[in-house]
Amino acid sequence: VDLSSKIQNTQFKNLFLNASGIHCQSKKELEELMNDHYSGGLVTKSATPNSRFGNPLPRYHSLPAGSINSMGLPNEGFQFYLDYVTHSNIQKPTILSIAGMSKEEDLELLHQIQDSKYQGLTELNLSCPNVIGKPQMAYDFASSNQMLKEIFAFFKKPLGIKLPPYFDLVHFDKIAKILNQYPLSHVNTINSIGNGMWVDVEKESVVLKPKGGFGGIGGAIALPTALANVRALRQRLNASINIIGTGGVTSGKDAFAHVLCGANMVSIGTQLYEEGLGAFQRINNELIEIMKAKGYHSLDDFRGKLKEQ
Ligand X SMILES: C=Cc1c(C(=O)O)[nH]c(=O)[nH]c1=O
The reply to whether 46 sits near ligand X by the rule CB under 6 A is yes
Asked about 128 being catalytic, the answer comes back as: yes
By CB under 6 A, the residues from 91 to 120 that bind ligand X are 99
The reply to whether 196 sits near ligand X by the rule CB under 6 A is no
Give the Cα-Cα-Cα angle 243, 247, 251 (nearest 5 degrees): 105
By CB under 6 A, the residues from 220 to 279 that bind ligand X are none
Shortest reach from residue 79's CB to ligand X, in Å: 17
Q: Is 44 helix (H, G, I), strand (E, B) or coil?
A: coil
The reply to whether 130 sits near ligand X by the rule CB under 6 A is yes
Instruction: Output DSSP code: residue 271.
Output: H
Count H helices and E strands in the chain, helices first. 9, 16
Tell me which of 5, 44, 94, 127 binds ligand X, using CB under 6 A: 127
* Nearer of residues 73 and 260 to ligand X, judged by Cβ: 73
Please enumerate in sequence order all residues whose Cβ is within 8 A of that of 200, keeping only pairs 6 or more positions apart, or say none. 206, 207
Tell me which of 192, 225, 229, 271 binds ligand X, using CB under 6 A: 192
* Nearer of residues 192 and 225 to ligand X, judged by Cβ: 192
By CB under 6 A, the residues from 202 to 221 that bind ligand X are 216
How many residues line the site for ligand X (CB under 6 A)? Answer: 15
Q: What is the dihedral sign for C-alpha 128, 129, 131, 133?
A: positive
User: For 87-131, what is the HEC assignment?
Assistant: HCCCCCCEEEEECCCCHHHHHHHHHHHHHCCCCCEEEEECCCCCC
Report the C-alpha gap between 102 and 104 in whole angstroms: 5
Given the residues 15, 128, 243, 265, the one annotated as active site:
128
* Nearer of residues 72 and 213 to ligand X, judged by Cβ: 72
Measured CA distances, 217 to 137, 264, 269, 289 (Å): 18, 23, 11, 29
* Nearer of residues 133 and 295 to ligand X, judged by Cβ: 133
* Nearer of residues 73 and 85 to ligand X, judged by Cβ: 73
Among the listed ranges 64-72, 169-177, 199-207, 243-251, the one in contact with ligand X (CB under 6 A) is: 64-72
Cα–Cα nearest to 8, from 181, 180, 231, 158: 158
Annotated active-site positions, please?
Answer: 128
Q: Can you give the binding site for ligand X, defined by CB under 6 A?
A: 21, 46, 69-73, 99, 125, 127-128, 130, 191-192, 216
